[in-house]
Amino acid sequence: MMKTNLTAHARFDRAARFEYIIDTIGFGEPITRLAETDPRNNKPVVYELTTTGVVIVRDPKNVVITAYIAGYEQATRIWRNSNPVKNMPSFLYKKIRQNEKVRANQP
């Protein structure tokens, strides 16, 4: 991710979290995307679930707002709403379960 494609929130407020993700599991590659309206501010956002079980949140202009290690419920919601006829791949389910240990220490 290029720093120029990050909001100030991602660059400064979430810098420790981004470093933690890089150092522990990596960002991976996007496997599915879900466009929704953020219920907190009523603005459109895109959630990308990656192959390492990370969620990257972007604005409609593709600027990264934040990222976090997904919990099972979060990942399932994103997957089901973007792939209603497919089950989440077993490798992704296993990765998300493995991430539970590192997720507990996520800044």
Domain-wise residue ranges, the chain:
3-103
Sheet holding 30-37, edge to edge: 30-37, 44-50, 54-58, 64-69
Q: Which residue has the tokens 């991602």?
A: 10
Q: What is the DSSP letter of 94?
A: H
- Tens of pLDDT, residue by residue over 3-49, are 558 877 778 778 899 999 999 999 999 999 999 998 888 999 999 99
Looking at residue 10, what is its pLDDT? 77
Looking at residue 4, what is its pLDDT? 59
Tell me what percent of the residues of the chain surpass a pLDDT of 90: 67
Work out the pLDDT band at 82, boundaries 50, 70, 90: very high
Provide the whole-model pTM.
0.87
CA atoms within 13 A on the CB side of 78: 25
